[in-house]
Structure 1
């Protein structure tokens, strides 16, 4: 399989592993990128952008990176914290008064962003309402927590993007997709956003689901917790490639971009909060973002996660991010990943089209992340 791009010879192990993924691990189409000290040292892509193998994966190909988008939404919240516009220990209802309904008046921003609010579901939303922002927000305002807030923890798989996004909108005035574009992606020149931002359809790679992906299978089964959570997603035979998925706003799952873009954003976080003259937030705030909030079984997925404040922390089974236990970032269902390693001033991202099997990030992503440190 032809592989294109460039890499610093010091990171040759990444190129070798990327090639091995195609040769030995069934890779279909993907990209991988690494930054070190604010400089791009790996930028590789290869394979195909469609299941029929008629469209080569190009330099500018983008793909849905699933829950990587929740990390971007958390970053937007933290940028407002850094600016003094949000206080972590203030009630969410200070900024979003309607949020106080359903016994949620005491939930703080910290409780919300650490996955301890118990708002795993949007039970008051009609089936398939996921792309109607106002309907989803009204439903979450009415939602009652699954537990006494702060007493348990769980990955807010479907709801985090709405909760973080509406908090940003209430404080800043701009929708989350506009804030992300204007404050992060456009200044950095990062080809990433919620939905495809009007990109030519030929530039968008098709997602290829795996029947062995725990997330894919459970999210389609309404009898499971993930199925209950994702009931709000419009159903279609190929919903990952549905037009609504590519054009709508669902920041929990429909962030589209590529490894180069996500690694660039995390490069700023790996280098004290700034990159090439673009300042996102302070180094002190970055350290607050990656403080561990819980390490244990997730109430949503029943998997063991190591979670910070809107981001995952390095954990070899579910979120492998190299050798630094303080590395942080966000995975996406099927194997996509972006993370920052501030101690080594390094960032990494991987954007595949073929979903992996199981409940983690799969062997292709794990091998690439490990190879960065080889």
Structure 2
């Protein structure tokens, strides 16, 4: 595939074979030309979906580009307001909501969760603190037989977790793949009286001035359009896969027990039924620009466009310590600190953020003032290893470009996408 790339200080335009109907859109500072080229190579043909990349430096956007296709058939181009479901990258957004409440004095990290949410004190959890929950040490990672109907009702899941006894991993790092979100939403509801879906709008989208944050399916009239998930639609009889996954979940792996539920495969196929639930650990729908903007504030002392999104004092405490201690569910070192994770290997991924299943990611490095977000709609395709390794290579190129920018200076790019607005005020 021959790709023609033209980059200047204000915009980047990329076009490939006209017969493919494939087009790169957006803008980037010229120092990031190699970053844009690498990003373009991640979407070689229409059957491999599409995605978007955004980079912020010192609170200013320097890359905002998108390409590829948002539907399974490869007929609907990715647009400025296309947003995929980003799976566990949602946890970074839900955690940021809690930090906003902490910043206003509504929550304290070292106070027991039960002080805010009395029902949570049942069965030996009365002393479990907010900090321990946000570090995935609550001993509540297992779904414990939750049905699809249960998962569709976030209040039911919050109540189940409040009444549950912690398991043997209480106090130990054990990734809460799905329950993490309901633990945070139960806490947030106890403090504010609001669903996490509402708080995504009020605590993220509104102060950051973008429509690009949603928990679950965006409301009617929203300019944000959900991308379809590119994955096999006929995985060898999903009933067989589900039965096998359930056997593994019950007998072998805490990691599977934290993730598996009946109908798991079907929940992310077709029209993505998972979007009709409220799962603050998994079903966030976000544009790259919005996610990079949120992390851009964290990388810039909590400030974005002259607005203090989070206090500099709170932001200074969000960087955790590196650790090679394996997570009991993941089997890999994945140090969590206040809802975000880092990669404990030198120079691989400096900073912190959250990666989602499939390879969507939001990340920032306060030491360099740099943040980026890569979102796409691929899952279980032949490029799965590229998707997981690609953002590491991409981040290295971003860091190299940022070093050049420090010497040469840069021009912020024109931002695209719809600004924040109340759903009822958006024209249908």
Q: Same fold judged by TM-score > 0.5?
A: yes
Contact 2:59 2:296 in 1 (8 A): yes
**Structure 2 residue corresponding to 1:268, chosen from 271, 287, 297:** 297
Q: Deviations over 1:87-111 (max 9, x none)?
A: 2221111111111112211211111
Gaps of 5+ in 2: 1-21, 236-240, 401-428
Matches within 5 A, 1:288-299: 288-292=317-321, 294-299=323-328
Aligned residues: CA RMSD? 2.8
Length, aligned pairs only: 363
Q: Does 1:367 align with 2:393?
A: yes
Name 1:53's counterpart in structure 2. Answer: 74
| Distance (whole Å) between structure 1 residues aligned to residue 370 and residue 361 of structure 2 | 14
Residues 31 and 350 in structure 1, CA contact (< 8 A), matched pair in contact too: yes
Task: Give the SS at the match of 1:349.
Answer: strand
Match of 2:226 among 180, 204, 213: 204
SS of the residue 2:354 aligns to: strand
CA contact (8 A) 1:294 1:308 kept: no
The whole-number CA distance in structure 1 between the counterparts of 2:330 and 2:385 is 9
Residue equivalent to 1:214: none
User: Following the alignment from structure 2 to structure 1, what is the Cα–Cα distance between the partners of residues 136 and 386?
Assistant: 19
Deviations for 1:272-292, whole angstroms, at most 9, x for unmatched residues?
Answer: 112124322112211222223
Which residue does the alignment assign to 1:254?
283
Among 361, 366, 374, which residue is 1:350 paired with?
374
Q: Measure, in 2, the Cα distance between the counterparts of 1:296 and 1:134.
A: 33
For 1:218-367, what aligned pairs fall within 5 Å after superposition? Answer: 221-222=245-246, 223-224=248-249, 225-232=254-261, 235=264, 237=266, 239-292=268-321, 294-315=323-344, 321=349, 324=350, 327-355=351-379, 362-367=388-393
Deviations 1:31-54 (A, max 9, x none): 101011221110111111112111
Larger radius of gyration: 2
- Find out whether 1:73 has 2:94 as its counterpart: yes
- Distance, in Å, in 2 between the alignment partners of 1:220 and 1:274 is 48
Moved more, 77-86 or 351-360: 351-360
The change in CA–CA distance for 1:71 and 1:337 in structure 2 (over 3 A counts) is: same
The alignment partner of 2:258 has SS state of helix
Q: Is the 8 A contact 2:333 2:344 kept in 1?
A: no
Question: Which of 182, 185, 197 in structure 1 is aligned with 2:202?
Answer: 182
Change (3 A) 1:87 1:203: closer
Cα shift at 1:196:
2.6
8 Å contact kept, 1:128–1:233: no
- Distance apart, 1:241 and its partner CA: 4.8
In structure 1, C-alpha distance between the alignment counterparts of 2:107 and 2:57, rounded to whole Å: 31
TM-score (normalizing by structure 1): 0.88
Q: CA deviation at 1:209?
A: 3.3
| Cα deviation digits, residues 193-236 of structure 1 (max 9, x gap) | 1013225799221112378xxxxx89981223344323446546
**Offset at 1:253?**
0.6
State the alpha-carbon separation in 2 of the partners of residues 298 and 361 from structure 1: 22
CA distance in 1, matches of 2:220, 2:69: 18
